[in-house]
Structure 1
Amino acid sequence: MASFSVTSSLSTELKAPSVGAFQPSDRPFQNLTAAINFSTRRAGSAVKPLRAAAESRRGDSVGPLSATTLAAPKTEEGVKEEVTIVEEEENFEQLAKQLENASPLEIMDKALAKFGNDIAIAFSGAEDVALIEYAKLTGRPFRVFSLDTGRLNPETYRFFDEIEKHYGIHIEYMFPDAVEVQALVRTKGLFSFYEDGHQECCRVRKVRPLRRALKGLRAWITGQRKDQSPGTRSEVPIVQVDPVFEGLDGGIGSLVKWNPVANVAGNDVWTFLRTMSVPVNSLHAQGYVSIGCEPCTRPVLPGQHEREGRWWWEDAKAKECGLHKGNIKQDSESNVSAQANGEVSDIFESESMLTLNRVGIENLLKLEDRRDPWVVVLYAPWCQFCQGMESSYLELADKLAGTGVKVGKFRADGEQKAFAKSELQLGSFPTILLFPKHSSQPIKYPSEHRDVDSLLAFVNALR
């Protein structure tokens, strides 16, 4: 039910009362009554006039206000009456619960119906083409935008063109600021992200262009799925007030984010694409699953998670470029610290395995002429990829027992992480190092193949 609030304006000597503060007087409009409904979620907060709504900074989880202003004719005394109809704010947390078991098509239809031309689909050139297919199936008009970072694969550019022709649409491309890109490349080179992390480059080429795009919208639609990245996307809701970006009206709470395939498994998305004969990026046939910029994306191996192909030189928990930064819980670091304090069971437990502490690994680093070669894994017991290679690494220790090669482990998370990054070449877990007999520097195992035969070949070739 809409709530009505009345404001009046006279000359400069008469100030209009705030919305929700209407008081009857002896003026000709004294018989006009209004039903005032305070629909804010926080007790005690005042309803603001419409003109201030776009400037407000609301931190609660409600959608932006939608209002219509009706101007009444002036009375004989020159009083202009103005009626503002303010729709009740929608609780998107409640809506997310209502849509938890809805199909992607139903969710897409709901989003397009609610926001019309003020919502757009974010298309990356990967399997989120499913979103465009769902939008087409609703029969409603829809908009699609994409971020052209300037460093996409040629196959992705060709795919964009194919999609535009297949659906008869024009993708709205957003580009990074040329001056910002120029400054970054001139200062740090084309591939600085391999050395100091991908966040700076993504901020210039992706996050800021996205921010500009979203400022023209009231809602956007993404292809996020809960199974894409267990560390950052496991709790993605169907719909939410965007926790990071602002929409057309500005301020926190001014943008709504829809994730129609949040509860859909990756295999089911692909079944849908094949069933509907939807065009797909040719990179998928080459082993690419999650597709981003060319320098930061590579095929994944059998058994690897799809996000392992993105920024593979970094920790698994850093597999976000900033577009969905709100997925990362604020207490993630404290969770890691808690795990480092022993709240999870240790791994790589074997009589053939030696456990190195900080002093032990530092001493091993200092030796320039070692009596025996060492192979050491830098690990975190909570890391699913460390857990996945546990059996092969234990078998490696058993096979090397008695050969003169010592096999060890060093827990490199928590307080040891900074040291491991600066001194032990830690990029992501697990990192495997070989300390040869006649070399002062450890050699980092370069392959993603973590089966025992591959590990054994590496050790025997260099020990």
Structure 2
Amino acid sequence: MALAVTASSSSTSIAFSSNSRKEQGVQFSSSNFQPSDRFNSSPAALSLSLKRSIAVKPLNAEPKRNDSIVPSAATIFAPDVEKAVGIEDIEKLAKNLEKASPLEIMDKALEKYGNDIAIAFSGAEDVALIEYAHLTGRPFRVFSLDTGRLNPETYKFFDTVEKHYGIHIEYMFPDAVEVQALVRTKGLFSFYEDGHQECCRVRKVRPLRRALKGLRAWITGQRKDQSPGTRSEVPVVQVDPVFEGMDGGSGSLVKWNPVANVAGNDIWNFLRTMDVPVNSLHAQGYVSIGCEPCTRSVLPGQHEREGRWWWEDAKAKECGLHKGNLKEESVNGNGAANGNSSSANSDIFESQNIVNLTRPGIENLVKMEDRKEPWMVVLYAPWCPFCQAMEASYNELADKLAGSGVKVGKFQADGDQKAYAKQELQLGSFPTILFFPKHASRPIKYQSEKRDVESLMGFINALR
């Protein structure tokens, strides 16, 4: 479609020329949009509309290819969409759509925001979002953050998705100068030592911020069951609490989460039913997929987020893209409100064969250089879902070791004890399992993610 504008002191005329074409089962033609109805109001309205259309740019700075099946602001003249509405209106909309299907939510989002909304695609199971958008029959945009550290399989998957749907993904890249400064100053893998937030801020958050400044709304694949610590209250639509949209300022961006109420198994049933292409990493045990150095496969029974930033505790398993999920009261970093985990959660590992170590007790155990008996100790937090998942196996281990000469203990290492546990007990993430040998002062850390009884017994038998 071509747009020609001619202006003079007495009149302004706009001419459209387009060949009708059928894309994704939807017929597009110049008659659909009736431009004359939009510009007959006043010269001032014309000037404002022209100014707005010029300001709407693609998410990235690269010129879009003319053969794109997904229309953008440069290829179709979409109807005006309303500006960001008030928080009350969005809350009402979220309530009305709470029980709606993902397809219905997606259709409403695309209808409401037209070309000013885009799907955020990570290269994982959120390909379901693209399939839902495709099924609505409406034009849609997709963008992705290329951090420069993704798996080769993910890059191949991007290409497969583009060809399958006949779309062009709009890629966003980190600032080269910022990446260069970070790597030259701290090295390629500084996130293993000082946390992933700085690297994610450079490679993901800031590119996302630039992308969203060209939109009024965005669509994410967040689900409530993805991360019990940070995503359990994700609504289907909300005013974005962190990022700004095209108009700038608080409330200028709306965030849609069409699959918020969908379980992970149901997502996969949908992908299989619709014969949707998926990332080949999923077949290797990867569930939640991010950058290659920070993502690994998970074992059967482990939560999907255990494969992300596995060296950090559950509360830190967000990169900053969805920072609004983190509750202000959980400022102590242990996932418990008001810094008091024990008051809000019942304790775990309550077997009669497990010794509950206090701070003085664990300090004495560390100082002993000639112990009469070896000890197996878990550093845990009652709120941690990964600690909860191993409770049964650890209790069974303690029962098996009763009377064997190996003591089994637990030490609650969150809250006020976390700093000490990190400095003196090698705490990296919850749970951390330590073996204190009989004739050695330094405890030995259990490195495996396998926390079944057989694996833990093998670890003990190799050392005692």
TM above 0.5: yes
Instruction: Give the Cα–Cα distance (whole angstroms) in 2 for the partners of residues 245 and 460 of structure 1.
Output: 52
CA offsets, 1:390-427, max 9 Å, x none?
A: 22212222222222222111111111111111211112
Aligned pair in 2 of structure 1 residues 69, 150: CA closer, same or farther (>3 Å)?
farther
Q: How far has the Cα of 1:382 moved from its partner?
A: 2.4
* Shift in Å, 1:318: 1.4
Structure 2: how far apart are the matches of 1:293 and 1:264? 24
Q: Residues 223 and 231 of structure 2 are in contact (CA less than 8 Å); yes or no, is this contact kept in structure 1? A: yes
* Equivalent position SS for 2:364: helix
**Number of aligned positions between the proteins:** 384
Residue number in structure 2 paired with 1:55: none
Structure 1: tracts of 5 or more residues without a match = 1-67, 74-85
Which amino acid in 2 is paired with 1:455? L
1:330 aligns with 328
**Is 1:170 the equivalent of 2:171?**
no
Partner of 2:234: 236
Counterpart of 2:399 in structure 1 is 398
**Structure index of larger Rg:** 1
Offset at residue 440 of structure 1 (A): 2.4
Say whether the 8 Å CA contact 2:237–2:256 is kept in structure 1. yes
Range that drifts further, 347-356 or 227-236:
347-356
Percent identical pairs in the alignment equals 81
Paired position in structure 2 for 1:220? 218
Going from structure 1 to structure 2, the CA distance change for 1:351 and 1:276 (only over 3 Å counts) comes to closer
Query: What does residue range 296-307 of structure 1 map to in structure 2 within 5 Å?
Result: 296-307=294-305
- The 3-state SS of whatever aligns with 2:397 is helix
Matches within 5 A, 1:51-90: 70=42, 89-90=85-86
Is 1:429 the counterpart of 2:423? The answer is no
Question: 1:306: how far off?
Answer: 1.0
The CA distance in 2 between the partners of 1:259 and 1:332, in whole Å, is 23
Q: Distance in 2 between matches of 1:127 and 1:200?
A: 26
Structure 2 residue 212 is the aligned partner of structure 1 residue 211: no
CA contact (8 A) 1:119 1:220 kept: yes
For the Cα contact (< 8 Å) 2:376–2:433, is it kept in 1? yes
Taking structure 2 as the reference length, the TM-score comes to: 0.79
Structure 1 match to 2:387: 386
Q: How far apart, CA to CA, are the structure 2 residues paired with 1:153 and 1:441?
A: 37
Matched, 1:410 2:411: yes
Give how far 1:218 is off: 0.9
Partner of 1:461: 462
Q: 1:72 to 1:268 in 2, by over 3 A?
A: closer
2:151 is equivalent to residue 153 of structure 1: yes
Verify the 8 A CA contact 1:120 1:221 in the aligned structure 2.
yes
The equivalent of 2:194 in structure 1 is 196
**Alpha-carbon offset, residue 88 of structure 1:** 9.5
Q: Mean alpha-carbon deviation: is it higher for 340-349 or for 237-246?
A: 340-349
Q: Whole-Å Cα distance in 2 between the matches of residues 137 and 145 of structure 1?
A: 18
Rounded to whole Å, the distance in 1 between the matches of 2:83 and 2:202 is: 37
Distance 1:87 1:308 in 2: 39
Shift in Å, 1:437: 2.1
Q: Deviations over 1:174-195 (max 9, x none)?
A: 0111111111111111111111
In the alignment, which residue of structure 2 is the partner of 1:420? 421
Structure 1 residue 454, shift from structure 2 partner? 0.9
> Which residue of 1 is the match for residue 452 of structure 2?
451
The letter for the 1-side match of 2:376 is V
| 1:255 to 2:253 alignment | yes
Q: Is the 8 A contact 1:339 1:382 kept in 2?
A: no
Measure, in 2, the Cα distance between the counterparts of 1:340 and 1:208.
33
* Superposed displacement of residue 349, structure 1: 2.1
SS of the aligned residue for 1:236 comes to coil
Q: Report the residue type matching 1:241 in the other structure.
A: V
Letter in 2 for 1:316: A
Per-residue deviation at 1:341?
4.2
CA 1:142–1:343: 2 relative to 1, 3 Å:
closer
Does 2:114 align with 1:113? no
Q: Is 1:349 aligned to 2:347, yes or no?
A: no
Q: Which moved more, 1:376-385 or 1:242-251?
A: 376-385
* Match in the other structure for 1:92: 90
Q: Distance in 1 between matches of 2:115 and 2:226?
A: 29
Shift, 1:302, TM fit: 0.9
Does the CA-based 8 Å contact 2:313-2:428 persist in structure 1? yes
Go from structure 1 to structure 2 and tell me whether the alpha carbon gap of 1:409 and 1:93 turns closer, same or farther (over 3 Å shift): same
Instruction: State the 1:72 CA deviation.
Output: 7.3
Compare 88-97 and 270-279 and name the one that shifted more.
Answer: 88-97
Opposite residue 290 of structure 2, the aligned amino acid is: G
- Shift of the 350–274 alpha-carbon distance from structure 1 to 2, 3 Å rule, reads closer
TM-score (norm 1): 0.80
For 2:178, the aligned partner's letter is: E
Equivalent residues of 2:84, 2:254 under 8 A apart: no
CA–CA distance in 2 between the matches of 1:180 and 1:338? 35
Please give the per-residue CA displacement for 1:141-160, whole angstroms capped at 9, x wherever unaligned: 11110000001000000000
What is the rounded CA distance, in whole Å, between the counterparts of 2:44 and 2:153 in structure 1?
58
- In the alignment, the residues of structure 2 paired with residue 120 and residue 219 of structure 1 have an alpha-carbon distance, to the nearest angstrom, of 7
| Residue of structure 2 aligned with 1:138, choices 136, 156, 170 | 136
